[in-house]
Structure 1
Amino acid sequence: MDLQDQLKNLFPDHKPEDTPKETSKTSDIWMQDDPIICKYEKRKGKPTTILEGYTGATEDFKALAKEIKTQLSVGGSFKDDKIIIQGDYRDKIMQILKDKGFNVKRVGG
């Protein structure tokens, strides 16, 4: 007898509620018509990937930056409405953004 059966025996009149499906954070982020620009630069001799061109709320862009950094396990920052990721991860970042529904444009290389 598992836990569900035990609970049904203890509370026969109870009808379980339908649990609402969790909404992903991507539905909270504002989608835009213009593409996000993904470009590659070298800063102080080290490769960096820069994302810019997001026209939504700054908090949404910060949340997107945190999610990208977590998925790729890399460092980075958010400055001047740009996401700066340490390393050359253009292909992976573009795939992540496309999966979320963003339009992405690759610039430089």
Structure 2
Amino acid sequence: MDLKDQLKNLFPEHEFKEEEKTPDTDKIWMQDDPILCKYEKRKGKPVTILDGYTGADGDFKKLAKEIKTTLGVGGSFKNETIIIQGDYRQEIMEILKDKGFKVKRVGG
């Protein structure tokens, strides 16, 4: 017996409405220029920086959140750049290529 059946037993006269789930495939604006994927050390700790996205800030923030949750790491969005804690250049480049972005690795 799942939660929905239990609620029907508690509230028999209530009509449950099925919620329409919107697909999470919100279109993110694709650009022609590649996104730059850099590696730096800040305060002695490695960080991966994504820069060069020319779309809306909201789309870039969604992309940052998706990368952080996929990799299970921390990070932030500042000054139109995504900063990911740790050296995850290869994994991030694969994620972005799967989404259809062009990615360019900068530095070592």
Q: For residues 76 and 21 of structure 1, what CA distance do their matches in structure 2 show? A: 27
Aligned AA for 1:42? K
- Length, aligned pairs only: 89
Q: For residues 42 and 49 of structure 2, what CA distance do their matches in structure 1 show? A: 11
Name the residue aligned to 1:22: 23
Aligned AA for 2:101? F
Gaps of 5+ in 2: 1-19
Name the residue aligned to 1:73: 72
Which residues of 2 match residues 23-38 of structure 1 at below 5 A? 24-25=25-26, 28-38=27-37
Q: For residues 52 and 69 of structure 1, what CA distance do their matches in structure 2 show? A: 15
Name the residue aligned to 1:16: none
Aligned AA for 1:24? T
SS in 2 for 1:40: strand
- Deviation, 1:69, is 0.1
SS in 2 for 1:47: strand
Larger radius of gyration: 1
- Deviation, 1:60, is 0.2
- Deviation, 1:21, is 8.9
CA RMSD of superposed structures (Å): 1.7
Name the residue aligned to 1:15: none
What TM-score does the superposition give when structure 2 sets the normalisation length?
0.78
Q: Identity of paired residues, percent?
A: 75
Aligned AA for 2:90? D
Name the residue aligned to 1:104: 103
Q: CA 1:20/1:74 → structure 2, altered by over 3 Å: closer, same or farther? A: closer
**Structure 1 consecutive aligned stretches of length 4 or more whose deviation exceeds 4 Å:** none
- Deviation, 1:20, is 9.6
What TM-score does the superposition give when structure 1 sets the normalisation length?
0.77
Q: For residues 79 and 88 of structure 2, what CA distance do their matches in structure 1 show? A: 20
Q: For residues 62 and 22 of structure 2, what CA distance do their matches in structure 1 show? A: 21
- Deviation, 1:77, is 0.2
